Amino acid sequence: MTKMTIAIIKWAIGAAALFVAAVGPVAAAPAHGIAMHGAPALGPTDPLPYTVADAPKGGTITFGMLGTFDSLNPAIPRGAKAPGLRDPLHGNLIYESLMERNHAEPFSLYGLIAQSIETDDDRTYVTFRLNPAARLSDGEPITSADVAFTHALLREQGWPYARTYYSKVESVETPDEATITFRFPNANDRELPLILGLMPIFPEHDTDPETFGRTTLDPPVGSGPYTIAEVVPGRSVTYQRNDDYWANDHPLTSGRYNADTVRFITFRDENTLFEAFKAGQTDIFLEGDAARWTSGYDIPPVRDGRIIQSTVPTGTPRGMFAFVMNTRRPPFDQKPVREAMNLLFDFEWINAQLFSGVRSRTDSFFSASDLASTGHPASDMEREMLAAFPSVVPPAIMDGTWAPPKSDGSGRDRNNLRQAVAVLREAGYRLEDGNMVGPDGEPLTFEILVQTRDDERLALAYSRLLRPIGVDAPVRFVDSQQYQARMLEFDFQMARVYWPASLSPGNEQIHRWSAAAADQQGSFNYAGATEPAIDAMIGEMLAARDRDRFEAAVRALDRVLLSGTYVVPLFHTPEQWVSYAAKIGRPDMQSLSGVEFETWWVNE
């Protein structure tokens, strides 16, 4: 090789480097799928692994649901949404996304409405190329204009979390009807391409931006496998299979959406719902009452085989089921009061009295997974992330020795009562004539807000545990619409809530815990948390490029959340409990999340 040839090669390499530096990160080729970390597990023609490809088609599946509904729009914070429109438990019957999630992986998406996805290594943009076969239920094709219209609509009028996600996009390009590019060079959010891939698509020609934010019971136009056949306001909604569904032969719909008709009927309380299930009015019952699961199924339909009881293992974190304390309002604006409320929750007694001893105590926002921080000390990587916040995480939580208070199970554990009184006394409270009185001379009292009879029973048991030290906690039961309205406006002191968790937590944590979300009505930051360390750990989590750093960031976030004492952690079950009519069939394998009802079928 001559010196001139070598010089030319060096010049070419240098020129290429200068070109890359000038234009930014090199884009990857369009792909059929994307994973948050690593590579997606499925190939372009693979079905979801928890389906049965030749599952029978036809028949009717009827579900019961608690509460009521007044809206067929799942994308706005107003109103109570009808189930099934876009539902992680029952499937996306009406509204689909650009990409579909495989719930057998931590977080991977595969092309549905979008046949491919393209992004760069730094994930500063994402390009979706739409499937030319994708159609709405009225036969109109889905175009890049529909996707751009949806993004703009949800950014302005959608749920607060949607506004947060989609506002990170700095520009949108639609070079043709089948291509759309979102650019976000300053977002520093590696999850954003996936979040955009999960955006539901609304048709521009059938959606009025002026009325979009209002509740409506007008049947919508979507791209999903069903259309709405009948709505009885507040009582039932019936979906009918769309025989012309555009994705009938798509690999991701193989073995899914098997019933011809899917119906939801509403009930005011769980006991009535269960009685309807026993009588054959509904076909599937997802059990949440431990006492009923262990002793309430000795009934003729179970004994003669008309109803099948089944346990379904899950592989995801259990999430946080808790009484949340609203720090925006007294008395929970004082951390010692929140600490005392934790000391007074006697899990061992409640578990024995209400749940036949089968519940497990929740001790993390990511319980039962490697993402939980409890039980082991912070890693060097976690400590490095938390170094800028040296006083936020107490030593016991940092070294993994912290655990929720444990009692003797009597319902009057003297040690815990004494500790609670001591904590309150240090904050200026005192016992006076049998009442716990604050520094202002006012009794320590607060209301517990609930929306179901089961939650009411739990809250009443907790309220009883507070009385021995003079704390009065009346329980307020409201219907689902009132409950949602009050929670949207943070109009409560304590309420029973549930934050689900996955193996790949991400942007949803902004909506639940960031300082910005604390003042954003409709956010899920019910606690009103404004701790800077929370925002920093969420930032670390979203910027993580590999699984090790990601998991360290999640555990660090968990430690900060536990340190804030925003909740009284409750409990979880080790698996899902589900019972169903014998005419219903289901795959042997379910997803990591548990049951996926759109993969079930009717055997008739």
Give pLDDT tens digits for 506-541: 999 999 999 999 999 989 999 999 999 999 999 999
pLDDT at 8 over 60: no
**What confidence score (pLDDT) does residue 539 get?**
95
Residue 36 lies in a domain: no
Residue 504 lies in a domain: yes
Residue indicated by tokens 């536990």:
562
Residue 141 lies in a domain: no
Q: What is the CATH number of the domain that holds 492?
A: 3.10.105.10
604 confidence band (pLDDT: 50, 70, 90): confident
Cα–Cα distance between 70 and 92 in angstroms, integer? 19
Residue 298 lies in a domain: no
| Torsion angle, alpha carbons of 458, 459, 462, 468, to 10 | -140
In 10 A of CB 215, how many CB atoms? 14
**What confidence score (pLDDT) does residue 597 get?**
96
In this prediction, residues 169-182 reach a mean pLDDT of: 98
In 10 A of CB 377, how many CB atoms? 12
How long a stretch of residues is the chain? 604
Residue indicated by tokens 């009883």:
464
Cβ atoms 494, 333 nearer than 8 A = no
Residue 167 lies in a domain: no
Distances (CA, A) of 524 to 238, 500, 517: 30, 11, 8
**What confidence score (pLDDT) does residue 9 get?**
31
Cβ atoms 233, 82 nearer than 8 A = no
Distances (CA, A) of 104 to 108, 428, 511, 592: 9, 51, 25, 5
Pairing between β-strand 60-66 and β-strand 261-267 as defined by DSSP bridges: parallel
Cβ atoms 376, 400 nearer than 8 A = yes
Residue 288 lies in a domain: no
In this prediction, residues 431-441 reach a mean pLDDT of: 94
Distances (CA, A) of 416 to 404, 406, 426, 472, 541: 11, 8, 16, 18, 36
CA-closest candidate to residue 542, choices 30, 166, 167, 195? 195
pLDDT at 447 over 50: yes
pLDDT, tens digit (0-9, with 9 covering 90-100), for 327-341: 999 999 999 999 999
pLDDT at 1 over 90: no
Cβ atoms 224, 155 nearer than 8 A = no
Q: Which residues contact 29 (CB under 8 A, 6 or more apart)?
A: 118
Helix (H) or strand (E) holding 311: strand 307-313
pTM recorded for the entire structure: 0.82
Pairing between β-strand 226-232 and β-strand 567-569 as defined by DSSP bridges: unpaired
Residue indicated by tokens 């949800």:
154
pLDDT, tens digit (0-9, with 9 covering 90-100), for 105-149: 999 999 999 999 999 999 999 999 999 999 999 999 999 999 999
Residue indicated by tokens 């059938």:
206
pLDDT at 454 over 90: no
In 10 A of CB 554, how many CB atoms? 30
**What confidence score (pLDDT) does residue 549 get?**
96
Cα–Cα distance between 122 and 225 in angstroms, integer? 35
What secondary structure, in 3-state letters, does 277-312 show? Answer: HHCCCCCEEEECCHHHHHHCCCCHHHHCCCEEEEEE
Pairing between β-strand 179-183 and β-strand 125-130 as defined by DSSP bridges: antiparallel
Cβ atoms 88, 593 nearer than 8 A = yes
- Counted domains in the chain: 1
Cα–Cα distance between 43 and 54 in angstroms, integer? 20
pLDDT at 4 over 70: no
* Residue 469, both tokens: 């030290």
Q: Quick check: bond before 251 cis, omega within 30?
A: no
Cβ atoms 350, 461 nearer than 8 A = yes
DSSP code of 453? H
Cα–Cα distance between 28 and 23 in angstroms, integer? 14
What secondary structure, in 3-state letters, does 158-195 show? Answer: CCHHHHHHHCCCCEEEEEECCEEEEECCCCCCCCHHHH
Distances (CA, A) of 142 to 84, 112, 155, 205: 21, 12, 20, 10
Can you name the residues that pair with 200 across neighbouring β-strands?
Answer: 97
Query: 3-class DSSP state for residue 306?
Result: coil
* Residue 104, both tokens: 């057998």
Cα–Cα distance between 184 and 202 in angstroms, integer? 22
**What confidence score (pLDDT) does residue 290 get?**
80
Amino acid at 327: T
DSSP code of 234? T
* Residue 82, both tokens: 């009808």
Q: Which residues contact 501 (CB under 8 A, 6 or more apart)?
A: 316, 317, 318, 319, 320, 365, 366, 367, 369, 371
Distances (CA, A) of 176 to 112, 144, 172, 180, 338: 19, 7, 12, 8, 55
Residue 542 lies in a domain: yes
Q: Which residues contact 298 (CB under 8 A, 6 or more apart)?
A: none
CA-closest candidate to residue 136, choices 99, 94, 174, 196? 94
Q: In percent, how much of the chain has pLDDT > 70?
A: 95
In 10 A of CB 404, how many CB atoms? 18
Residue 119 lies in a domain: no
Query: 3-class DSSP state for residue 290?
Result: helix
Amino acid at 498: Y
How much is the CA Rg of the chain, to the nearest whole Å? Answer: 26
160 confidence band (pLDDT: 50, 70, 90): confident
Estimate to the nearest angstrom the gap between the alpha carbon of 143 and the chain centroid: 29
Residue 469 sits in which domain range?
A: 320-403+413-572
* Residue 366, both tokens: 């990511």
